[in-house]
Amino acid sequence: MTGYIIRRVLLIVPTAFLVVTLAFFAMHIVPGDAVLASIEEGTSLRPEQIAQMRESLGIDKPLLVQYGNWLRSALQGDFGKSLATGRPVTKQLFKAIPVSLELALLSQVIALAVAIPIGVISALRQDTFWDYVLRVFSIGMLAAPNFWLATLAIVLGAYWFFWAPPFGYVPIWQDPVVNMKQFLLPAAIMGLHGSATAMRMTRSAVLEVLRQDYIRTAHAKGLSPRRILMVHVLKNALIPVVTIWGVSIAYLLGGAIIIESIFALPGVGLSMLDAINSHDLTQLQANILFFGAAVVLVNLIVDLSYSLLDPRVRYN
Amino acid sequence: MFKANWQKKGLLLGAAIAAMLLVAAACGGGAEPTPTSAPTATSAPVATPTATKVPPSPTPTPKFQPKKGGSLRFAQTSDPVTFDVHASSLSLLTNHTHLTHSRVLRYESLGWPEEANYGALTVTGDAAEKWEISQDGKTFTFHLRPGIKWPNVAPLNGRELTSEDAKKAFERILNEPKSIFKEFYEEITSMSTPDKYTLVMTIDKPLASWLYRVADGEAAWITAQDFIDAKGKDYGVRQDSLVGTGPFLIKSEETGSRYIYTRNPNYFLPNLPYVDEVVWLIIKDASAREAAFVSGQIDALGASRTSVPRIQKALPKAALDSNPGLSNTASGIMFNMTNPKWQDIRVRQAIQKGIDQGRIIADLYGGQGRYQGCMPTALSSFALSQDELKALYTYDPEGAKALLAAAGLSSGLTFEMTTFTGYQQRLLDIAELAQDDLKKIGVTVNLKPVPVASGRPAVEAGNFETVIQPHSTGVEPDEMIGGFTTGGGRNFMRVTDPKVDAWNLQQTVEFDVKKRAAITKEFSRYCAQQVVGLIPMPNEASFSFTQEWVKNFPISDVASDEPRELFAWVEK
């Protein structure tokens, strides 16, 4: 088990290396650079000024040299300063991570809290009125775009109740009440949207498990329906749900750009968007590196959780 | 000569020039001259200023009783990219700089505070309490107020602001590689500081616009060079770079969330500002900003035409400030005049006549917009009237066809129009309407969308046939005509027209407002009739709201260069 974990953790290194390398060269296919992107509308800088600015940022050098310089610094733990703002990129990233992490976790908790009961009820009441109602609900949530739900929620809240979530992010350790006011609505929207997939997966997994021989045996042994459901059905049905949940969390750690934008939550998604718009390669590289590592780590956690859900799963 | 900024500001400058007239006895007013022939490029100034002392403008006694305390809360779309006050003209930064910094001179609204009529601006003292102008109009002596204190931040430690600080600030604008305002002050030939409160500035020729430039609300901030030196490479990176002698002091920065400023207890204007705190929130999404305003979380909002009725219904007591479409930015279709296609004036005129600008106002702007000229409408004294502009830019498809036929293009014409993606959606809409109109006269327009970051350098390098984009922004005729002169900084069209060059030279040294306006209007007519590289496109009306409890705070574009937070108060 320990060896497995070490191997998987070590896998982060080549994965992240591959991702940032691809990102670095892909960004250079896009026309323009950080200096051109920084020139404001109406500004007409002299060519020598532009050259001087490129030199000071180190982006006047050949591409491979730039990449080599970045990689050397990164290996020493220095991911550099933002080409757009001049701020240390790791500091910026570490400020954004808690925002995206909180949003991702909260939304996925809401997603599971909605998806699992609905999925189970839907499976247990297969092809009944309630099954159809719940399935329509889940498909509706899946079909409604996040940005539309978010805009609707925020605008209707303001016009009907003169209320909107408090703007201006407040960390949870500073003021948990205000923080929750800021996060609950966006997390609920994301959670409901995400619950649709998990609900459908739960439903189909539960249906499949319900048809297994060991469930019939459990019924024959006289176990209560509740015990059968909680111990024998759910535990076995949850493996695919957990997989989806893990993938969603990893995805959301990369930032929910639209939701973060609408609710003014300065997470990784917004940071990524700003970095792309400003050709801020150093910030982008750091964010992508984090995203790559997060995907590998979350998947590792998901894989490890299988053994908790199913004792037959062993890691060698 | 131009100012590095295309932001809409919509300032009217007549009064600024009037201020010049106070100090410069221009020669007799007389009737408004109408140039009937092109002036020559060597024209001498029509008038020369004489040495005059300018008293400080009296601070009016307000009829209202301003209330002290409280806070003002606003929202902007993102963090300032830089906090170097000389490296950006974007409102993302100037929203903050107006709070923390002062200038030698600033604008003042006539009628403050009873009627915050920011449509008429005059130049008044800021750090300077008075100033003098030499007889030849080239030497300006500014007398700074004694006792202005820098904040208690190392290495300044609350020391007094001196004329040496002001001098070094202008030197920094001229010499700092990141400065984007170099060309705005390049006429300075020398500066000296005879004593710690006196700054003497000499320019190479008398300029009608000079006091305005010294008062500029985006560029002319007084910085402390010793503070900048102490910050080293970190200067401009964070909010803590905003150390000035303005009405507010920095309090806290939370990147991506909010920037807070607190009242400067040592501000040099007594009893000002009224509010204790100003907060700038970062809210990227327009719907969210609207929700923040309706829910009372922010005190001001720039609103779209379609959102105005619902905001008014929800908050009937909120104050609405509307601009019918006057703008000091001339955006439009530019011809690359070096392209052989555009050498024949009839072809340019045909394209101008073939675009239905009335339809743009009616369909795109919902009837709420104004025609624009080569001299932008917000420079009211210097611009043509709406009636005249409407007549000059009349839609005439038959006339356009006749012109094309006369130019030997009766079988049609095809050309490329560069548009910028992810930037000013309205210009893309206009390009599509123009494309549709021109098709009706046999002209095929191939729109070429390119990212703004790569497209702009291409246009500056002359790699385009036509492009639709903002031309210039200005509160001064200088900044506009300069964009049409041979070798001018924003002359993307590559216009080389001796008449325009001569008019430009004349107006820069013309101190008589009426005579100067006659020149700029003549230029504007000529620009439309001859299609001098630009077909200006109409501007859309804009709207802004303030909460009912915010007093004496004009939010319109017109006032964006003013220290609005200085005079505002809150009555909750």
DSSP string, B203-261: ESS--TTHHHHHT-TTT-B---HHHHHHHGGGTTTSGGG---SSSEEEEEEETTTEEEE
Taking only the tens place, the pLDDT of each residue in A75-87 is 888 888 998 888 8
Q: How confident is the model at residue B165 (pLDDT cuts 50, 70, 90)?
A: very high
Q: Is the pLDDT of residue B119 over 50?
A: no
Contacts of B36 by beta carbon, 8 Å cutoff, 6+ apart:
none
Alpha-carbon span A272 to A31, nearest angstrom:
18
pLDDT attached to residue A277:
82
Please measure the distance between the N-terminal and C-terminal CA atoms of chain A and give it in whole angstroms: 6
Distance between A115 CA and the closest CA of chain B, angstroms: 29
The answer to whether B174 and B188 have CB atoms below 8 angstroms apart is yes
pLDDT attached to residue B111:
41
Give the CA angle between residues A48, A54, A60 to the nearest 5°.
105
CA distances from B355 to A309, B349, B351, B416 (A): 70, 10, 7, 16
Kind and range of the H or E run holding A87: none
Mean pLDDT of B89-106: 92
Q: What is the dihedral of CA B109, B112, B113, B118, to 10 degrees?
A: -30
pLDDT attached to residue A42:
59
Which of B28-32, B375-379, B421-425 holds the top average pLDDT? B375-379
Does residue B476 belong to the interface with chain A, where contact is any CB pair within 8 Å? no
Comparing CB atoms, the residue among A41, A151, A278 nearest residue B287 is A151
Contacts of B232 by beta carbon, 8 Å cutoff, 6+ apart:
none
Amino acid at B331: S
Residue of A nearest to B473 (CA): A42
Q: How confident is the model at residue B10 (pLDDT cuts 50, 70, 90)?
A: very low
Q: Give a three-class secondary structure readout of B57-70.
A: CCCCCCCCCCCCCC
Q: Is the pLDDT of residue B44 over 60?
A: no
Residue of A nearest to B290 (CA): A155
The residue with tokens 């997390």 is A187
Q: Where are the domains of chain B?
A: 14-22+46-53+67-303+542-570, 329-540
Alpha-carbon span B365 to B359, nearest angstrom:
9
Phi/psi at B455 (5° precision):
-70, -40
Alpha-carbon span A102 to B483, nearest angstrom:
51
| CATH fold of B14-22+46-53+67-303+542-570 | D-Maltodextrin-Binding Protein; domain 2 (3.40.190)
Q: How confident is the model at residue B4 (pLDDT cuts 50, 70, 90)?
A: very low
CA A312 to chain centre: 30
The answer to whether B112 and B272 have CB atoms below 8 angstroms apart is no
A192 in helix, strand or coil?
Answer: helix
Give the CA angle between residues B77, B80, B84 to the nearest 5°.
160
Please answer yes or no on whether B295 and A41 come within 8 Å at the CB atom: no
Contacts of A72 by beta carbon, 8 Å cutoff, 6+ apart:
none
Does residue A96 belong to the interface with chain B, where contact is any CB pair within 8 Å? yes
CA A236 to chain centre: 25
Phi/psi at B110 (5° precision):
-70, 135
A222 in helix, strand or coil?
Answer: coil
Question: What is the share, in percent, of chain B residues with pLDDT greater than 70?
Answer: 84
Q: How confident is the model at residue B509 (pLDDT cuts 50, 70, 90)?
A: confident
The answer to whether B143 and B198 have CB atoms below 8 angstroms apart is yes
Please answer yes or no on whether B89 and A270 come within 8 Å at the CB atom: no
| CATH fold of B329-540 | Dipeptide-binding Protein; domain 3 (3.10.105)
Does residue B186 belong to the interface with chain A, where contact is any CB pair within 8 Å? no
The answer to whether A256 and A101 have CB atoms below 8 angstroms apart is no
pLDDT attached to residue B102:
96
Burial of B446 (0-12, 13-18, 19+ CB in 10 A): exposed
CA distances from B371 to A22, B386, B437 (A): 49, 6, 17
**Which residues of chain B neighbour A156 with C-beta distances below 8 Å?**
none
Please answer yes or no on whether B460 and A261 come within 8 Å at the CB atom: no
The answer to whether B37 and B244 have CB atoms below 8 angstroms apart is no
Please answer yes or no on whether A169 and B256 come within 8 Å at the CB atom: yes
Please answer yes or no on whether B285 and A264 come within 8 Å at the CB atom: yes
The residue with tokens 């000035």 is B244
The answer to whether A113 and A120 have CB atoms below 8 angstroms apart is no
The answer to whether A304 and A8 have CB atoms below 8 angstroms apart is no
Taking only the tens place, the pLDDT of each residue in B450-471 is 877 677 778 888 899 999 998 8
Comparing CB atoms, the residue among B3, B256, B450 nearest residue A270 is B256
Q: What is the strand order of the sheet B71-76 is part of? A: B71-76, B277-282, B258-263, B248-254
Alpha-carbon span B343 to B467, nearest angstrom:
16
Query: In CATH, what number does A95-315 get?
Result: 1.10.3720.10
Does residue A95 belong to the interface with chain B, where contact is any CB pair within 8 Å? yes
Q: Give a three-class secondary structure readout of B170-193.
A: HHHHHHCCCCCCHHHCCCEEEEEE
Residue of B nearest to A274 (CA): B78
**Which residues of chain A neighbour B237 with C-beta distances below 8 Å?**
85-87
Does residue B391 belong to the interface with chain A, where contact is any CB pair within 8 Å? no
CB pairs under 8 A between A and B: 142
Higher pLDDT, A109 or A57: A109
Mean pLDDT of B296-323: 93
The answer to whether B329 and B2 have CB atoms below 8 angstroms apart is no
Contacts of B144 by beta carbon, 8 Å cutoff, 6+ apart:
B104, B127, B128, B129, B161, B162, B163, B166, B197, B198, B199
